[in-house]
Amino acid sequence: MALVDTKKMFEMAYKGGYAIGAFNVNNMEITQGIINAIGKEKAPLILQISRGAREYASISYLKAIIDVAVKENPDIPIVMHLDHGDTFDICKQCVDDGFSSVMVDASKHPFEENVKITSQVVEYAHDHGVVVEAELGRLGGIEEDVVGVSADEIKSHLTDPDQAVDFVEKTGVDSLAVAVGTSHGAYKFKTEPKLAFDVIEQISEKMPDYPLVMHGSSSVLKEFKDLINKYGGDMPDAMGVPEEAISKAAKMGICKVNIDTDLRMALTAKIRQVFAEQPAVFDPRKYLGPGREAIKEMVKRKLHVLGCAGKAAECK
C-alpha cells in the first residue's frame, strides 16, 4: 500500500489504548532494522526524518529507502513524518517532497507566535492532504538541532491543559506533542523521572479522542549503555523514560511515542562489540549487520511496550 497519514492510526490507537511507535531514521540499516521488527510484529509504523537526517543522508536517499520499505511491506501502514520542522519553509518543503505527515515545532516562540506559525503550516499542509503535528510546552534536553530546557526547569515548562485546548482550536492542528516531563537525548535524568500523568489526563478530559504525542521517550536501555561502556565507550549513568510509564501513557491518550536515542544506542553498542571482539573485521556488513539485528530486537520489544504489536490491519 502507499504511504498513509496518521488519522486512522491515531483513531484506533486512542480507542484501543495503545500508541504508535515513531522511529527516527538516518540510513538504510536503521530503517531495515525497524522494518524487519514491524514485519514480524505486524504493527503500524511512523518513520521520522529530522533536519539532521536530511542534512546527513539527503531526503532523496531517505525517501527512496522508505519507498522500498513501503513497497515490500504492503500489509503494513507506514507514515513518512517530518520530525521537528521549526519553520514554515521546512514544513512546506517536506509536504512538497511527499511526506504524509509533518511536525511544526514553534514551541520556542511565545504562544501567539506559535499559533501563527502552526496555523500557516496547517493551512498549507491540509490543502495538500497532509496531516500536521505541533508542540506546546518545552521539553528538556538536546537532540540534534532541538534545544529544550534543563532538567531542573522541566516541571515549570509543562503543557498547560487550558492553553492546549485554545491552541488546538485556533490552529486546527491534527495532533499535539505535549510536555509532560520527558526529555530529549541520551542524558535525560539522573534519577527516575516522574511523568505528569495528571497533565495528560486533564488534556484528554478537555479534548476527548484527541491524539497526543510524547517526545523524548527513549528509555536509555541499560543493556546497550553497558555494552557501549564495556567496549570503550564513555556514557555516564543516565536514565530514560521507564517503559512502564510509556505503557501507562499510551492508555491515557498518548497515541504517538517518539524513539530515537535507543536506536542509536543499539547500533553503536553492537558495532563497538564487533570491533572489540573481532578486530580483524573491516567489512561494513560484518558490523552493520549485527547493529541492524540489535535494532530489530529492540524495536520488537518497544512495540509490545507501546501495545501496537499486531495492530497493523486495524490501522489501514
- Structural domains of the chain in order of their starting residue, each with its CATH number: 7-315 (3.20.20.70)
**E strands within 18-59?**
20-24, 45-49
DSSP string, 304-315: HHHT-TT-TGGG
Number of Cβ atoms within 10 Å of the Cβ of 10: 24
Q: Is 145 a catalytic residue?
A: no
| Active-site annotation holder among 83, 86, 105, 174 | 83
Q: Are 90 and 50 in contact (CB under 8 A)?
A: no
Higher model confidence: residue 187 or residue 116?
116
DSSP letter, residue 178? E
Give the pLDDT confidence of 41-87 residue by residue, as tens digits: 999 999 999 988 989 999 899 999 999 999 999 999 999 999 999 99
Indicate the average pLDDT of the chain. 90
Residue 235, C-beta contacts closer than 8 angstroms, at least 6 positions apart: 186, 225, 228, 229
User: Is residue 184 helix, strand or coil?
Assistant: coil
Residue 37 half-sphere exposure toward CB, CA atoms < 13 A: 26
Give the pLDDT confidence of 261-313 residue by residue, as tens digits: 999 999 999 999 999 999 999 999 999 999 999 999 999 999 999 999 999 99
- At 139, is the pLDDT very low, low, confident or very high (cuts 50, 70, 90)? low
Query: Nearest Cα to 39, choosing from 298, 296, 286, 265?
Result: 296
Number of Cβ atoms within 10 Å of the Cβ of 285: 10
Query: Nearest Cα to 143, choosing from 223, 87, 86?
Result: 86
Query: Nearest Cα to 47, choosing from 60, 62, 29?
Result: 62
Specify the pTM.
Answer: 0.91
Per the structure block, which three cell numbers stand in for 100?
Answer: 504524509
Cα 83 versus chain centre, distance: 8
Query: Nearest Cα to 80, choosing from 92, 93, 70?
Result: 70
Number of Cβ atoms within 10 Å of the Cβ of 19: 31
The predicted structure's pLDDT at residue 137 = 78
d(CA 29, CA 32): 5
Give the pLDDT confidence of 5-51 residue by residue, as tens digits: 999 999 999 999 999 999 999 999 999 999 999 999 999 999 999 98
The predicted structure's pLDDT at residue 156 = 54
pLDDT, average across residues 170-198: 75
Cα four-point dihedral sign 108, 113, 117, 123? positive
Cα four-point dihedral sign 180, 185, 190, 192? positive
